[in-house]
Structure 1
């Protein structure tokens, strides 16, 4: 029993440390950007020893990716808060695609990690995927989309979003091209281009303010 209690205390401490590092990492990276943030500063903000960081994350980039995954989850939740008011499941999906594109090209924490395109695309697929894949299924059931494999379409879309964001941040594509990107990505669901353009042109309510990092999220412990 004593051994089990000791193991339980160790596990709880590890969970607390990892959560504290994620929260501190997000705070520091939001304030200074990923490039200017240091592991020492993040460790101090988390109130752990500098060497402790490397027990949980191999590098600053790995910590930044974990932070970004949490930000992706909260973005999905904010999108959900808005789209819960929509009656057309195709509009739900279109709104989400636009918000992800705008965030990927506008949030400095995303932009500074785009060089790790495969890692970011995989994180986008895994952490936000349950929402758009559900929306594609609902839109298909409603006769709006024609998607037989939502996971495949979202996998392709995740990589397309990251590639497009790189095009804007690295290659000089104008931000105005986001609308065209939304249309083309909607066409992947089986929509004709005119229908996709009409859907992309619908009004987009603003997202609710970004909340502070949540404490004690189960996903933080995985």
Structure 2
């Protein structure tokens, strides 16, 4: 059997090496964000990632761009998990409520990843990836199906994203608070705002939830997709 020339394997090795470097930088950034250390110099980030400072600029133009990527990555991972858990849910109201209720519980279950997301709370609403676009999609589906009577989707999304963000901060700030009960109360209020009757909103928010598996979120940063790689 003829072996392929060594050079044909080189792009694969280079691609893998770039992916590993980018993943290490994202992991380091998430660690600093979780600790609230946003003023950390680039040099310190690269030292924590165990990569050269030159490699940093092969992937990111600035520290802000790295932090944005670190936040987006966590939000995308959580969003993908929520999508999988609601893919077979036909009722838009139940799908929206399930995702919101699980997101609230996420903050207590994964406090470090939660802090990464909440670090950029003011930017979540306008994000093109992660949770906000999924909230918009679910609310839009509810409006189009007639399930929701509140037809101003922009206002509805602002209320839902704002509630999710400040609820997460409340859960982080008050570790003794019952996060599940607080989340279900907030979800019930949002459903009523969207046009679901009080009795049905309560029933939806008292229904069983699927198990939120978050272990994969903690490790998935090692598999950061290189589609967003900006290496030059």
Determine if the TM-score, normalized by the shorter chain, exceeds 0.5. yes
CA contact (8 A) 1:86 1:92 kept: yes
Q: TM-score with structure 2 length normalisation?
A: 0.69
Does structure 1 residue 114 correspond to structure 2 residue 118? yes
Structure showing greater relative contact order (alpha-carbon pairs closer than 8 Å, 6 or more residues apart):
2
CA contact (8 A) 1:89 1:138 kept: yes
Does structure 1 residue 79 correspond to structure 2 residue 82? yes
Cα-to-partner distance string for 1:185-211 (whole Å, 9 max, x where unaligned):
222312233221111111111134525
Q: Tell me how far apart the structure 1 counterparts of residues 165 and 193 of structure 2 sit (CA, whole Å).
A: 16
Could you say if the C-alpha distance between residues 114 and 57 of structure 1 is closer, same or farther in structure 2, counting changes exceeding 3 Å? farther
Structure 1 unaligned segments of length 5 or more: list them: 1-12
Q: Tell me how far apart the structure 2 counterparts of residues 113 and 162 of structure 1 sit (CA, whole Å).
A: 9
Q: Which is greater in Rg?
A: 2
Q: Tell me how far apart the structure 2 counterparts of residues 69 and 146 of structure 1 sit (CA, whole Å).
A: 31
Could you say if the C-alpha distance between residues 220 and 155 of structure 1 is closer, same or farther in structure 2, counting changes exceeding 3 Å? farther
Pairwise CA RMSD: 3.6
Could you say if the C-alpha distance between residues 120 and 57 of structure 1 is closer, same or farther in structure 2, counting changes exceeding 3 Å? farther
The corresponding residue for 2:23 is 23
Could you say if the C-alpha distance between residues 109 and 144 of structure 1 is closer, same or farther in structure 2, counting changes exceeding 3 Å? same
CA contact (8 A) 1:94 1:199 kept: yes
Cα-to-partner distance string for 1:50-93 (whole Å, 9 max, x where unaligned):
3543672644x763442121111121111111111222221111
CA contact (8 A) 1:22 1:66 kept: no
CA shift at 1:112, angstroms? 5.4
Q: Tell me how far apart the structure 1 counterparts of residues 135 and 93 of structure 2 sit (CA, whole Å).
A: 10
Alignment of 1:1-222 (within 5 A): 20=20, 22-28=22-28, 34-35=34-35, 43=46, 48-50=51-53, 52-53=55-56, 56=60, 58-59=62-63, 63-107=66-110, 108-111=112-115, 114=118, 116-123=120-127, 126-170=129-173, 173-175=177-179, 176-208=181-213, 210=216, 212-213=220-221, 214-219=223-228, 221=230
Structure 2 unaligned segments of length 5 or more: list them: 1-13
